[in-house]
Amino acid sequence: MGKKKLAHAFARKLSLGERIFIPYIMAGDGGIERLADRIKLLERMGATAIELGIPFSDPVADGPTIQEAGIRALKHGVSLESVLVELKRLKDTFHIPIIIMTYLNPVFAYGVKPFAEDCREAGVFGVIIPDLPLEEEELISEALSKVEIAFIRLVSITSTEERKMEIAKRTEGFLYAVTVTGITGARDSYQNDIGKYLTSLKEISKVPVLAGFGVSTCEHVKEFSQYCDGVVVGSKIINLIEENNEEAILELINASKSSLIYRGK
């Protein structure tokens, strides 16, 4: 049921004239015992869903902030298994959709079928695997489909038009539009044609399009929301949590609720 519930949560947010806002946090950063409070905090603040990172020793898509958060979690002994066990324990204490972001190696070590089944038991709505290419995704897509968990695909700004079309056709939950050529991390500026890129994805995607990688200011949230359905914010959220700056987190989330002239489809 994860796919349908995620689609419902997104549709409800968009029906209110707002944009989808998904904060990213690293599971177990500071200890697994902090996970519940952070999920509930972001839920109270009005996040649409939460992208929950799994700590990994070789996070090829992550910038320094997320890498450091992963290292902190690993030092606390946090693993994919311990995160799923904790989510299963907590799942009746919150209602916000949880999306797992993990690399492929931990899934293989866990076992693809047990991973999918345990995600379902833990109440996970969707899964993102950034280092799994389109050509090899059958390694996990069938297992996730059987348990009705959305398999969310990423599309790059440098992808060919043909590849963008194929990724847009296959993705579930939302289409994750990577807005930079590089790793995650806060940025001050983006390419001038970013609006054209996001608009083009809206024209071919059957599900919401969300912009991510480097989104770090209220201005970014408002600007990207003119062209697509919302944003994913990672490194900035991690920094603000470290600083205990709840006011700034709330400002970012509220920026997605601003009245906007939507230029996309």
By annotation, the residues acting in catalysis are 51, 62
3-state secondary structure labels for all residues of the chain: CHHHHHHHHHHHHHHCCCCEEEEEEECCCCCHHHHHHHHHHHHHHCCCCEEEECCCCCCCCCCHHHHHHHHHHHHCCCCHHHHHHHHHHHCCCCCCCEEEECCHHHHHHHCHHHHHHHHHHCCEEEEECCCCCHHHCHHHHHHHHHCCCEEEEEECCCCCHHHHHHHHHHCCCCEEEECCCCCCCCCCCCCCCHHHHHHHHHHHCCCCEEEECCCCCHHHHHHHCCCCCEEEECHHHHHHHHCCCHHHHHHHHHHCCCCCCCCCC
